[in-house]
């Protein structure tokens, strides 16, 4: 559903979990960026999956901003501000 929305409208920022019950954050990112290449620098992933080396390798190789769970509202706002200077 999120990918359909990305294909239909322009977004200033995408905040997504890396692991989702009905999807994969990495696949969502790749397809969203294929649809709208300028989204590449406007993604913020949130994750509690800090022990997964595959997820971290993807995040680091793609140079995607990440915020580890749990986090406070001011940490989320600061992460967003870093993406939109």
**Tens digit of each residue's pLDDT (9 = 90 or more) over 8-54:** 999 999 999 888 777 788 899 999 999 999 998 899 999 887 667 77
32 touches 62 (CB < 8 A): no
Q: Are strands 43-47 and 14-17 parallel, antiparallel or unpaired?
A: parallel
Query: Could you tell me the two tokens for 63?
Result: 């140079």
Cβ atoms of 49 and 43 closer than 8 Å = no
Q: Which two tokens stand for residue 66?
A: 């990440």
**How much is the pTM?**
0.82
């Amino acid at each position: 559903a999120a990918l359909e929305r990305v294909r239909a409208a322009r977004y200033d920022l995408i905040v997504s979990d890396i692991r989702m019950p009905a999807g994969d954050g990495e696949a969502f990112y790749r397809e969203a960026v294929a649809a709208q290449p300028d989204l590449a620098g406007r993604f913020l992933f949130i994750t509690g999956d800090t022990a997964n080396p595959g997820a971290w390798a993807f995040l680091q190789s793609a140079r995607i901003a990440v915020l580890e769970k749990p986090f406070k509202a001011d940490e989320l706002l600061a992460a967003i501000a870093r993406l939109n200077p």
